[in-house]
Structures are given as C-alpha cells and as structure tokens.
Amino acid sequence: MIKKILALLFALFVVACTKPSATLPEEPDSGPDSGEGQLYINDLAAAIRAADRIVVSEHSNAYDVLDQETQPQFPENYKPVIYASHELTPDERAGFLKTITQLPPRTQDAFTACVFEPHHTITFYRAGKQTSAMVICFKCGQVNWDGTGKLNPWSLVPGLGKVIASVGMHEKRDWYALVQAHKK
C-alpha cells in the first residue's frame, strides 16, 4: 500500500514539474489581499534605485547534470555554468524599474509543488559589494530573493520574464542539452 501511495505521489510530482503551465496556480479574481505584494514591489523598486550595478545571468542548475543512473547525488561543490551575463545599462535599469513599479500588486498566496530549478539570477550591487540576489525558476514560477521578507505579487514572474527577454535571455531552454554541450 505504501509503495502505491509513493508511486502516486511521485507521478504527481513528475506531472507537476513537466507541465508547468498546467500546474502554476492562477491568481484569484477576488478576496482579501495581505498587501505584502505591494511591499515586495516597493522593496524591489528601492533595490533597483539604490544599486549602482545590476547583473542578470542565465546559468545551469545542479539538476541539469544529475543523472540517476550514473550519478545519483549532486556533484560536490557544484559550480553553475554561466551561459550569459549582462550588466544592465542605465536605460535597461529604468525599464526594469518601470516594469516592476507597474506590476499589479496582488500578493501571491498559492505556490506549486515543483522542484525549484533556477536558471536566472539578478544580482544587485552597491559600492562594489553584492547587496542582494534574486534567483528565479520560470519552470515553477518561484523566486527567492534575499532582499525582502515579504511575499511576492502574482505578477512578479511574468514581469521578470519581460526583463529577462529584454536582455536577450530566455525563460525556457533545453537546460540539460546546454550543460551537456558545455561539457564537451
């Protein structure tokens, strides 16, 4: 019985992570909002304004190299492969700020059960030191940012997708094939 339950849970997990458009929660039409989404936007806008340098990168993830048959555990001291890195110009920073400040602020209150596999990072610097980093997984629509303790708005991931695209990077790629090509 336990094996059947585990198999069912595993199947649901695989489906949840292979069909993200079908599993991402949808923004509710109504109901109370905690207001944290707006506070998150305010914190992010303040970080953009305060940074003297913002770098967007597209990179591999430890899951990209994991092969259950030959390598059942993550490699020790995994260092991601950087596919692209771009420091935002003043105009791009202004566009980033505009995109963020125009996001609908409704707080996200439901999340996927997908494995967090980030392939994008936005790093904020001030006076030559990193002040925060925002790690983004477009596959499951999750963002980890150490610049705030607030919950993000529903609109954050689509907004960040626009920022990523504006610098020539992609939300979706064959990440496994990319890391395999890099190994050669």
- Each residue of 67-116: pLDDT tens digit? 655 555 566 677 888 999 999 999 999 999 999 999 999 998 888 888 88
> Which tokens belong to 134?
């925002």
Phi-psi label, residue 168: left if phi above 0, alpha if psi -120 to 50, beta otherwise: left
In this structure, how many other beta carbons lie within 10 angstroms of the beta carbon of residue 165?
11
Predicted model pTM: 0.80
Cα–Cα distance list, 132 to 5, 37, 168, 177 (Å): 41, 18, 22, 30
